[in-house]
């Protein structure tokens, strides 16, 4: 089956076996930040952004992404440097083994897109689908709020006031 979609800003055209999951497809394409922690939708370590929304790639068929835009942890940093979420996770100590980290980044990016200044409770709800066995989540939750603050202060004030929700 022929498939075309956008992966981390670049267009991809590839053949894919019917029945292959999106996780298998992406890992096969070298996007190995998409981690297989359970292959049944329980752990969130395979999360990717599909048109900006976090989804578990192990539960989707590859064929379902035809024409869509996919972002993985590999695509989060830009030329300028690490994404604020990546920076904040590093600074706060939210990375231990790092196996859950790509999935957490995706879920958090989705959350901050919808809710730029989340409360602790909102962060916890936003990350409820991601298992981390190392950290106890304390520093991950803090990091997401730190990243939100970083992103808010990077936004020009006037613009921030205009687009702010209120």
Partner 1 sequence: MGEKFEVVGHNERKVDGTALVQGKPVFVADLPERAGTLHLALKTSPHPHARIRAIDTSAAEALDGVALVMTHENTPDRPYTTAGQGYPEPSPYDTRMFSPKVRFIGDRVAAVAADTLETARAALDLIHVEYEVLEPVLSIDEALADGAPLVHDEPLSDAWQADRNIAAYSEAVAGDVEAGLASADASVDVTVETHYGQHAPIEPHVVSSYLDEHDRLVLVSSTQVPFHARRIIGYLLDVPVHRIRVIKPRIGGGFGVKQEVLLEDLLALTTLRTGRPASMIYTREQEFYASRTRHPMRVRMRLGADADGTIQAIDMDVISNTGAYGTHSLTVLSNVGSKTLPMYNLAPNIRFIGRAVYTNLPVAGAYRGYGATQGQYAMEVAIDQLAGKLGMDPLEVRSKNHIREGGTSPIFRELGEGREGVEQTIGSCELPACIELGAERIGWANKRGQRRREGSWVYGVGMSIHMQGSGIPLIDMAAASIKLNDDGSINLAVGATDLGTGSDTVLGQIAAEVIGIPLAKVIVTSSDTDLTPFDTGAYASSTTYVSGTAVRKAADEVRGQLVAAAAEMLDADPAELEVADEQITAPDGRSVTLEKIALRSLYGANQHQIAATASSVPEVSPPPFIASFAEVAVDTDTGHIHVLDYVVAADCGTAVHPRLAEGQVEGAVANGIGYALSEDLAIDDRGRARGVDFGRYKIPVTLDLPMIETVLVDSYDPTGPMGAKSIAEIGINAPLPTIANAVHDATGIWLTQSPYTAERVWRALREEGIDASEV
Bridge partners (DSSP) listed for residue 19: none
C-alpha distances out from residue 27 to 20, 22, 57, 58, Å: 11, 8, 10, 11
Binding segment for ligand FES (CB under 6 A), chosen from 30-38, 73-81, 105-113, 118-126, is: 30-38
Q: Which does 77 bind (CB under 5 to 8 A by kind): ligand FES, partner 1, none?
A: partner 1
Bridge partners (DSSP) listed for residue 78: 81
The angle that helices 101-114 and 84-92 make with each other, rounded to 10 degrees, is: 120
Q: Which does 86 bind (CB under 5 to 8 A by kind): partner 1, ligand FES, none?
A: partner 1
Pick the closer one to ligand FES by CB: 52 or 98: 98
Tokens of 50: 């599909």
Q: Give the residue, chosen from 16, 60, 100, 143, that forms a contact with ligand FES under the rule CB under 6 A.
A: 100
Pick the closer one to ligand FES by CB: 5 or 137: 137
Q: Give the residue, chosen from 101, 110, 111, 112, that forms a contact with partner 1 under the rule CB under 8 A.
A: 101
108 HSE (CA, 13 A, CB side): 32
110 HSE (CA, 13 A, CB side): 25
Interaction residues for partner 1, span 57-96 (CB under 8 A): 72-74, 76-77, 82, 86, 89-93, 95-96
Q: Which of 106, 84, 104 is nearest to 94 (CA)?
A: 104
Footprint on this chain of partner 1 (rule: CB under 8 A): 30-40, 42-43, 45, 72-74, 76-77, 82, 86, 89-93, 95-102, 105, 120, 123-125, 127-141
């Amino acid at each position: 089956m022929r498939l075309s979609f956008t992966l981390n800003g670049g267009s991809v055209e590839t053949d894919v076996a019917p029945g292959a999951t999106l996780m298998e497809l992406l890992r096969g394409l070298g996007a190995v930040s998409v981690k297989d922690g359970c292959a049944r939708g329980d752990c969130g370590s395979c999360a990717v952004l599909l048109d900006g929304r976090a989804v578990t790639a192990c539960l989707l068929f590859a064929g379902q992404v035809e024409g869509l835009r996919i972002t993985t942890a590999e695509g989060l940093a830009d030329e300028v440097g690490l994404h604020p979420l990546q920076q904040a996770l590093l600074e706060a100590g939210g990375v231990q083994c790092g196996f859950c980290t790509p999935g957490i980044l995706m879920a958090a990016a989705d959350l901050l897109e919808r809710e730029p200044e989340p409360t602790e409770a909102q962060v916890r709800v936003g990350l409820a689908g991601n298992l981390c066995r190392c950290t106890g989540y304390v520093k991950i939750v803090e990091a997401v709020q730190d990243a939100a603050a970083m992103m808010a202060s990077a936004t020009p004030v006037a613009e921030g006031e205009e687009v702010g929700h209120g």
